[in-house]
Chain A
Amino acid sequence: MKFIDIIKTSNSNLRRSKLRTFLTLLAISIGTFTLALSLGLGQGLRNYISSELGQYKGVNLYQVEKTTLNNFSGLGNHDPIVYNPNKSPSSANYQNNFLSSADIDQIKKVKGVQNLELPYAVVFDYATSPNGTKYEASNSTFLSQNPLNLVAGKTLDSVDPGSVLLSQKYLPLVGANDISSALGRNLPLTYKNAKGVVSTIIFKVKGVYEPSLIQAPIFINSQDAEKIATEQAPGGSPLFNFVFISKSSDITDVQLKANLSNAKFTGRSFADINNTLNNIITGVQISLAAFSGIAILASIVGVINTLFMAVLERTREIGLFRALGSKKRTIFYLFSVEAALLGFWGGIIGIFFAFLAQIAINQIAAETFLKGVDGIQLLNIRPSLIIFIIVVISVITWIAGLLPAFKASQVDPIESLRYE
């Protein structure tokens, strides 16, 4: 029997007991539906993280902090901890994680470290637009390796006092309607020093960049950042939990991290952060897929039951086929392909509804809890994912059908022709 005829015959056999087939397909499609949504959710988040952190790919930038978070015991809900001078303090003692001047000097001396930059934390009360509207002005200090996607103007130089970079979404702060007209405009930023004295510095927009979830909307130059952060620091000296460094070209990533580790510091590149996030998503994805697996497992029991029923119902037909010259393996193929087709059609139905759910969920997400977050598609059921799921489900149901198919192939043709 030609394989195409086996597929056609098996497919038409599915229509013989419509209700039973429908219920089996329903069970499979529920499993497929949940699997597609869970994998689609993971893929959506992964895509978003990749798109956000993708700009850091190949960027020579490491975040370095003290290696002290090794005995975390909660912030306060624990018994008193006896001081041990030979042991790093608990992370509950948060102040100990700040880097001292000595620490920063030590980091600079680690082999492979070059171009250490301090992430000054500056707090502006507001920015004043030309029409007098006051806006919040969250910001970051510009780092030389920061990979911003400039859409107009130039990036900041290493020494560039009085200049800022502005996100494309923040053009109203300088009263500009388009990106090019924003260049050179004044951006007055107001802050309070440690004693509460209010000051305003008028910056000039030097460049405009594409907005991103992980990039602040305003970048100020490091000279002004240092000045303001020093004014705002209660002790007159800014504190840092971490610093940024670049790696010299004569050392590998692994070697640099080892050198930092020997000096009791931890260095993480942005690729590491990306990997960590991806690992978390993979873990979540696997957990969700495991729940879908339970649904699929239940549907497999349905497939086995359906096929055993079909073997019983078609016993005389099996006998006829054998009497007309059919080989045992043809009978085996007919039933095993029927099982695979149950998975195939169940998969198609499940994916179809998952696709509809994806459209609805993405729309609802975009209008509610993800409103204002550009570029994120919460669910992303890709074509390759669809093919993967359908193939996997078909193979699983095919495997589930092997036992009934084998039983069908072993039916005694003489007995089956007598079967009522």
Chain B
Amino acid sequence: MLDIVNVNKIYGKKDKAFSALTGISLKFKKGTSNAIVGKSGSGKSTLLHILIGLDHPTNGEVLYNGKNILKDMNTDSWRGKNVGIVFQQFFLQPNDSVLDNVALPLKLQGITRKKRNLKATEALKKVGLEDRIKSKANDLSGGQKQRVAIARALVDNPSILIADEPTGNLDTENGDAIEKLLFELQKKLGTTLVIVTHDTDLAKRCERVVYLKDGKIENDTNSSKK
């Protein structure tokens, strides 16, 4: 479904050129859970940005159902409709209500308020926060904020769910709960999950783990460790 084909990413020019990714090729199948693991500077964030079309590879291409996401389609629209993203820092609008935060991707797509509120309410039910719809995002705990972020990522039933260090800002208890929720929803909704993390315990819960080192794939396993 989502293919990375021989992607290279080089920052800078000539003497100052730095290769962040070298010859990366990956295929993410529909409904699978995948982890990209690596230390800081391994290139996992760069790979994530290229994967969702926020960054352009120097060479190679990213294909979604066989189509180049940068050349064959409107990348922004594709990302809005097909990709849900969960960030480590949540990135909620602090003074907006939980409902408005979850409905934000739908608002950006131009969906009417009535429809987006319905969908956002459904998404909040999935993460168990239907009773906090009217609360301000700022009034929530860290774990609740990440649940809201997951609801926002899933509000339009995306086929791909990207999670960038989803438990990085949470304590162990909340982190475990968020992990559990992510995998439950991934199974239930049949979403392709790609987690970018340096947490090997979290990575091992995925069906497949890709280890990156110095911008290259060090190891790629369909581990089924869960």
Q: Give A residues with C-beta under 8 Å from B.
A: 1-2, 5, 9, 16, 316-317, 320-328, 330, 413-414, 417
Contact = CB atoms under 8 A, between A and B. Distances in A.
Interface stretch (B65-73, B106-114, B137-145, B200-208): B106-114
Contacts of B105: 324-325
Interface in B68-125: 74, 76-81, 83, 85, 87, 91, 93, 95, 104-105, 107-110, 112-113
A325 B79 contact: yes
B194 interface: no
Given A323-B79, A414-B55, A5 B93 contact: no
B93 A414 contact: no
Contacts of A317: 93
Interface of B: 49, 52, 54-55, 74, 76-81, 83, 85, 87, 91, 93, 95, 104-105, 107-110, 112-113, 152
Contacts of B91: 316, 320, 417
A16 B108 CA distance: 20
Contacts of A326: 76, 80, 108
Given A322-B54, A323-B52, A5 B79 contact: no
A320 B104 CA distance: 10
B104 A324 contact: yes
CB-based closest 6 A-B pairs = A325-B80, A324-B105, A326-B108, A320-B91, A327-B76, A325-B79
A417 B110 contact: no
B54 A413 contact: yes
B91 to A, nearest CB: 5
B54 A414 contact: yes
Contacts of B93: 317
Contacts of B95: 16
Contacts of A413: 54
Q: Chain A binding site: helix, strand, loop or mixed by DSSP?
A: helix
A414 B51 CA distance: 13
Contacts of B77: 325, 327
Given A330-B108, A414-B49, A417-B91, A323 B54 contact: yes
Contacts of B76: 322, 325-328
A322 B106 CA distance: 13
A324 B152 CA distance: 9
A73 B95 CA distance: 73
A417 B86 CA distance: 12
B97 to A, nearest CB: 12
B203 to A, nearest CB: 22
Contacts of A324: 79-80, 85, 104-105, 108, 152
29 contacts: A1-B107, A2-B112, A5-B107, A9-B107, A316-B91, A317-B93, A320-B87, A320-B91, A323-B52, A323-B54, A323-B79, A323-B87, A324-B79, A324-B85, A324-B104, A324-B108, A324-B152, A325-B77, A325-B79, A325-B80, A325-B81, A325-B105, A326-B80, A327-B76, A330-B108, A413-B54, A414-B54, A414-B55, A417-B91
Nearest to B105: A324
Contacts of B108: 1, 321, 324-326, 330
Nearest to A413: B54
Contacts of A316: 91
A310 to B, nearest CB: 14
A384 B209 CA distance: 68
Nearest to B45: A414
Nearest to B81: A325
Nearest to A327: B76
Contacts of B85: 323-324
A321 B76 CA distance: 10
A417 B79 contact: no
Given A316-B91, A417-B91, A325 B109 contact: yes
A277 B224 CA distance: 92
Contacts of A322: 54, 76
Contact of A2 (B54, B78, B110): B110
Contacts of B83: 325
A413 B91 CA distance: 13
B87 A417 contact: yes
Nearest to A4: B113
Given A324-B79, A325-B77, A417-B91, 17 more contacts: A1-B108, A2-B110, A2-B112, A5-B107, A317-B93, A320-B91, A321-B108, A323-B79, A324-B85, A324-B105, A324-B108, A325-B108, A326-B76, A327-B74, A330-B108, A414-B54, A414-B55
A2 B110 CA distance: 5
A9 B112 CA distance: 14
Nearest to A325: B80
Contacts of B54: 322-323, 413-414
Contacts of B80: 324-326
Nearest to A324: B105
A59 B20 CA distance: 87
A321 B109 CA distance: 11
A414 B109 CA distance: 20
B117 to A, nearest CB: 13
A87 B83 CA distance: 90
B193 to A, nearest CB: 17
A37 B107 CA distance: 41
A420 to B, nearest CB: 10
A321 B107 CA distance: 10
A2 B87 CA distance: 26
A333 to B, nearest CB: 12
A15 to B, nearest CB: 9
